Structure 1
């Protein structure tokens, strides 16, 4: 027998099967949004690293 899936929100655990379709849709929306935020954070880290490298390259050029 499969166990029911649950989600914990603000310290309260909910059985997904007992939530309304609208509530389940909002949980899906939150999960997708969280994934997008994580992806954007990774892209920002890459851009910040590249910016640092460009700034170092500029500093070396200015010291010539």
Structure 2
């Protein structure tokens, strides 16, 4: 088992399952505390995804600013 379990959820109309480190569990069979941790993991994963999107936006903006700066710098003449 790894330090950070890999969690994948599947939902269907009959029951919801979650796969943790390759083992499938019925959510209805987990303890209330375990279900709370599943929710915590899902929320955290969503926040990480949002942060990754924000980082991509900032990296794109930074590259555009760097290009714009390069266009505004005086040309370098060889000595």
TM-score when normalising by structure 2 = 0.76
2:68 counterpart residue number: 57
Aligned length: 63
Alignment-derived partner of residue 46 in structure 2: 35
Higher strand share: 2
1:23 to 34, 58, 61: 34
User: When the two structures are superposed, what TM-score results if normalisation uses the length of structure 1?
Assistant: 0.92
More helix by share: 1
SS in structure 2 at match of 1:25: helix
For structure 1, which runs of at least 5 residues remain unmatched after alignment?
A: none
Query: Structure 2 stretches of 5 or more lacking a match?
Result: 1-12
Provide runs of 4+ in structure 1 moved above 3 Å. Answer: none
Q: Alpha carbon RMSD of aligned pairs, Å?
A: 1.1
